Structure 1
Amino acid sequence: MAALGAYLILYVINPDLTKLNISFTTVDVTETEGTPMGQAGICKPVATGDCSVANLSSTFGAKANEASSICNGESEGKAIPSGVDICADRNPASWGLFQINITAHPVGGFDCPSAFSGGTYTSKNHNCRVKTDPASQALYQNCVTAAKSASHNIAAAKSVFSSAKNSWRPWGANKKSNCNFR
């Protein structure tokens, strides 16, 4: 009632005060095959470290240059949690060199997806939560430790790559860092 009274008083004093002038800005949204990333790394193979072509050649063979570029684009060679793939409970869903989504993929022999409820983290579904029972909490921590291990993360990346028919499409860096590999 008070709002209506205030409106009437303003309208009587100066009708222009009651006019709303709202403008909207058009925004284009582009969906990527992988999950969106934070600040993109550089899509360029690296010569040293865990993401180096030499380190990845035994796993990825002729695709080692591409693997190095994706690894560099995803994490810049750091075994870190994702800053954008975050579940509803604020736990990171993706970890390590290749930012492996542990709500979707096993890592280091651990059935990581079974530690979560709410479904697999995707660019459209952020409802995942680490289950609250002690076994699931421990499994999540084991998965995080495994995903931060270069050897386990690289092996999981090879599995994801192979499951995608030897494609880099599942990785956000493929587009975000302008790799654009097949």
Structure 2
Amino acid sequence: MKKLFKKIISLTYLIIFLFGFFIPFNQVLAQDANNQLRIVADKLNLKLGEDIFITAKTYQLSNKVISFQSSPAEGIVFSPSICTTDGNAFSTINSCQVGFGSTKEGTFKITASMVYNGTTSSNEIEISITKDGGVIKNCPTGQILVNNICTTPATVKPTTDTTYTPLAPLPGLDKTINTTGECPFGNYLNVIIKLVLGIAAVLAMVMIVMGGIEYMTTELVSSKESGKETIRNAILGLLIALGAYLILNTINPKLLDACLDKLPEAKITILPYNQNINSYMQKTSGNCSVITSGECSVENLKNIFGGKADKASMICNVESGGIVFSKSNSDYCSVGQTTFSFGLFQINLLAHGDKIPSSVGNCTDLFITSKGEEIGVGKKGYVAKDEKSNFSHYDCKLRPERGDDYNKCSAYLKTATGNLSVASKLFQAKVFEDWRLSDQGVCPAAFQ
């Protein structure tokens, strides 16, 4: 029984504390009377001589005297002109009715009013009365029909207001936030961080109060220890929350700054077409050593590269590891992810398709840019770089109608004979310059 009594007291204190903190009593008990009276008519368009009922509804109020008036008042009959709402204090909505009729045509503004807490509140509707009860179909020029009444529309001026108004005010935050100011989102997040710390402090205080109540309302040593432990844990949690903010702010205040306004702007530049570059993608790994057997062995490459066969073997090892049918994992178009470098020396089909024999197929002009522009000498380039001239991506895509040619040409480059034939032509033209940009970083010995 004693434990139950203690729990009831603790829960009561906690509810009162939280209720008073988050919802002040002066806001809970205050009610806006203007939002608690509404009137509704059976019809808004009446025939001359027709009678209807007008209902007044009050929200969370009972036994209220409602009085009705009309403007203009001539010819209007209320029966009666005053009514009293229901007396059920437990009902959300209470209502009363009056009869309404008119001996004249026109548009009448009906006003219902009541006195609540010394303040008069009111609500209005408009009723139109004609001979046949018909709806007005045409309005004078410059007016529109609203609820069967010709009304001049309000002029709406365009606004350039860029302020953000929170649905509910937050402590430490202005009522409005100018979204065009400096770092608005970051400022908003910083306020939220402080607000979370405030909530943590409140919750810690609640736990301290609960621990104190538990400590004072028991005589058992174990329960007193439990109360002290609750207080210790609450203080420790608060210190951790405040300490995290303090440590980050001490190390570098910018760690708490969520400003996104100073992010660097990315710019991409498309370089001119260069047919002498086999790949712009620099190798970051690879085995820079001579291959002792297979298609890229020094002995096998002597007939093509002569005295530089050892260097050619190193390049082949870096490019493909001596795998005949390999394809590049980096040389591919940004559209469709179509690979264009194949085989032992990773021959670039996009740049060197013209060096493949015509008997294989038409291997030239297989690709276009992402915008459909021609790629080639004197045309558009396909290598995209950022504002710091660092490689970004290959801006290209395979022509939809050239799929068969692409398959034939790539298959040719994935044979030892075909790949070495094109590599020989590139070597005879400019030695190893086509591989320098991509391979020299990881294998400088091959270019000495």
Q: TM-score, normalised by structure 1?
A: 0.77
Q: How many residues align?
A: 169
Asked if residue 20 in structure 1 is aligned to residue 231 in structure 2, the reply is no
Alpha carbons 1:40, 1:177 under 8 Å: kept: no
Once residues 46 and 7 of structure 1 are traced to their aligned partners in structure 2, the CA distance between those partners, rounded to angstroms, is 59
Once residues 53 and 7 of structure 1 are traced to their aligned partners in structure 2, the CA distance between those partners, rounded to angstroms, is 64
- Residues 26-175 of structure 1 correspond to what in structure 2 (within 5 A)? 34-37=279-282, 39-78=284-323, 79-88=325-334, 89-106=336-353, 108-109=356-357, 110-118=361-369, 119=375, 121-122=382-383, 123=391, 126-133=394-401, 136-164=402-430, 166=431, 168-171=432-435, 172-175=438-441
Code of the residue aligned with 1:41 in structure 2: it is: G
Shift in Å at residue 7 of structure 1? 4.8
Once residues 295 and 193 of structure 2 are traced to their aligned partners in structure 1, the CA distance between those partners, rounded to angstroms, is 68
Once residues 446 and 297 of structure 2 are traced to their aligned partners in structure 1, the CA distance between those partners, rounded to angstroms, is 19
Alpha carbons 1:86, 1:92 under 8 Å: kept: yes
Shift in Å at residue 8 of structure 1? 8.2
Which structure would you say has the larger RCO, counting Cα contacts within 8 Å and 6 or more residues apart?
A: 1
Alpha carbons 2:344, 2:416 under 8 Å: kept: yes
Q: Which runs of 5+ in 1 are unaligned?
A: 25-32
SS at match of 2:281: coil
Alpha carbons 1:46, 1:69 under 8 Å: kept: yes
Question: Larger Rg: 1 or 2?
Answer: 2
Tell me: CA distance 1:180–1:61, structure 2 relative to 1, closer, same or farther (3 Å): closer
Q: CA RMSD in A?
A: 3.2
Between Structure 1 and Structure 2, which shows a larger proportion of helix residues? 1
Alpha carbons 2:332, 2:338 under 8 Å: kept: yes
Q: TM-score, normalised by structure 2?
A: 0.34
What is the aligned partner in structure 2 of residue 30 from structure 1?
A: none
Shift in Å at residue 154 of structure 1? 0.9
After superposition, the C-alpha distances for 1:72-113 in whole angstroms (9 at most, x for unaligned) are 111000121101111122011211100111000025414433
Q: Which runs of 5+ in 2 are unaligned?
A: 1-163, 168-176, 178-186, 198-244, 264-276, 370-374, 376-380, 384-390
Alpha carbons 1:70, 1:174 under 8 Å: kept: no
Once residues 132 and 143 of structure 1 are traced to their aligned partners in structure 2, the CA distance between those partners, rounded to angstroms, is 15
SS at match of 2:294: coil
Shift in Å at residue 11 of structure 1? 7.6
